[in-house]
Amino acid sequence: MRTFKTLALATTIAAMAGTAHADILLGLAGPMTGPEAQFGEQFKQGADKAVADLNAKGGVLGQQVKIVVGDDACDPKQARSVAEELSSKKVAAVIGHFCSGSSIPASEVYQENGIPQISPGSTNPTYTERGLNNVFRVCGRDDQQGPTAANYIAKKFPGKKVAIIQDKSAYGKGLADEFKKALNAAGVQEVFYEAITAGEKDYSALVTKLKAAGADFVFLGGYKTEGGLIVRQMRDQGLKTTLVGGDALLVEEFWAITGAAGEGTLVTFSPDPRLLPQNAALVKYYRDKKYEPETYTLYSFGAIQAWAMAAEKAGSLDGKKVTAALKANKFDTVIGNIGFDAKGDVVGPNYVMYVWKNGKYVYAD
């Protein structure tokens, strides 16, 4: 009986983590279903490969690693339930969540249980501004991302009219507010600022308002679906206003919604890790399996690398010791050489501007 149980366990673990035995449980949390599931898939693609590589080299502290996935669907209440479930399973750390509105409530559960949380993609400043000692992110913050876009528009397109919209989410409102603050500081007053409702299909009233205001640019604090629909509907009504947005618009699904109408859309994100020479083989691995490792795929990978190296530095999986090691060291990862400040914010590359051209995003001039 014991032989059959061991064989079944080994088979299950091998299928999930590419190893024959797993001793360490590592949580991976994000939107595996719902409108933002593409980002959850990015997290999983990055995590699966990172863990497979770790296990092939002996694991962490001589133990193999197994991923435990939690689906929050970018819903705050569901995120808290996921956090409670992962905590009950005694995961060593959690890589996640994606939506800031999920990471913020979930982090309180992880804090209570002494579990380090490293988000690959939550950008709202509040996430690391509450004095919690267990929270980290390998991406930047909206008070870096918003000003990058605002300063680009103010300096490169002086005298142009700018409107601001946001989807009322923690991510969208936070990003729009930071953009507005920086835009106003640069001497530009928006023609209007208003909230939209995520999930709507008809934004014709907004398009009419943009046309009446003579907006040259509209900044969206929100996600790809709404952004894509707004662009299409602007073009359908003959409006040439340029959409500007944050990292959530930097996915191929955005172009799948817009088609050629998305041409010229401006987006902020960190420098693209796919272009780093040391990642050539890794990028080839993904492309050979017909998967494009865009946006947060390598950020998930890098977050796991940072956690693993911190555990090795600490010589322990204890949450407090790993947290201390994360804050005290630098880590060579697929997203670059990174560290973390006292709040848990990443110390590394800042934001740059991208533009959508011919179905691909490239660095903007």
Q: Where in the chain are the domains?
A: 24-140+275-347, 143-269
Rounded CA gap, 247 and 296, in Å?
9
Q: Are 219 and 245 in contact (CB under 8 A)?
A: yes
Rounded Cα–Cα distance for residues 141 and 147 (Å): 10
DSSP H helices in the chain? 2-17, 37-56, 76-88, 100-112, 142-156, 170-185, 204-213, 224-236, 252-258, 280-288, 297-314, 319-328
3-state secondary structure 222-242: CCHHHHHHHHHHHHHCCCCCE
Question: For every one of its 365 residues, what pLDDT tens digit does the chain have, with 9 covering 90 and above?
Answer: 434 343 333 333 344 444 344 589 999 999 999 999 999 999 999 999 999 999 999 999 999 999 999 999 999 999 999 999 999 999 999 999 999 999 999 999 999 999 999 999 999 999 999 999 999 999 999 999 999 999 999 999 999 999 999 999 999 999 999 999 999 999 999 999 999 999 999 999 999 999 999 999 999 999 999 999 999 999 999 999 999 999 999 999 999 999 999 999 999 999 999 999 999 999 999 999 999 999 999 999 999 999 999 999 999 999 999 999 999 999 999 999 999 999 999 997 689 999 999 999 999 99
Distance (Å, whole) CA 173 – CA 13: 41
Confidence at residue 99, expressed as pLDDT on a 0 to 100 scale: 97
- Cα(2)–Cα(48) distance, rounded to whole angstroms? 29
Contact call for residues 75 and 9 (beta carbons, < 8 A): no
pLDDT computed for residue 348 by the predictor: 75
pLDDT value at residue 2? 39
Residue entry with tokens 């272009």: 275
Give residue 7's pLDDT.
Answer: 37
Count of CB atoms situated within 10 Å of the CB of 62: 8
Judge whether 137 and 129 are in contact, CB under 8 Å.
no
Give backbone dihedrals phi and psi of 297, rounded to 5 degrees, phi first: -60, -50
Residue 11: the pLDDT is: 36
Which residues on neighbouring strands pair with residue 353, listed in sequence order?
268
Residue 170's SS3 state is: helix
CB 123 within 8 A of CB 172: no
* Intrachain domains 24-140+275-347 and 143-269 with the same fold: yes
Q: Tokens 């080994």 correspond to what residue? A: 10
Using an 8 Å Cβ cutoff, are 101 and 74 in contact?
Answer: yes
User: Per CATH, which fold does 24-140+275-347 belong to?
Assistant: Rossmann fold (3.40.50)
Question: Which of 80, 40, 78, 267 has the alpha carbon at shortest distance from 175?
Answer: 267
pLDDT at residue number 158: 97
Residue 10 three-state SS: helix
Say what angle helices 76-88 and 100-112 make with each other, to 10 degrees.
30
**Cα separation of 132 and 121, whole Å?**
18
Fold (topology level) of 143-269: Rossmann fold (3.40.50)
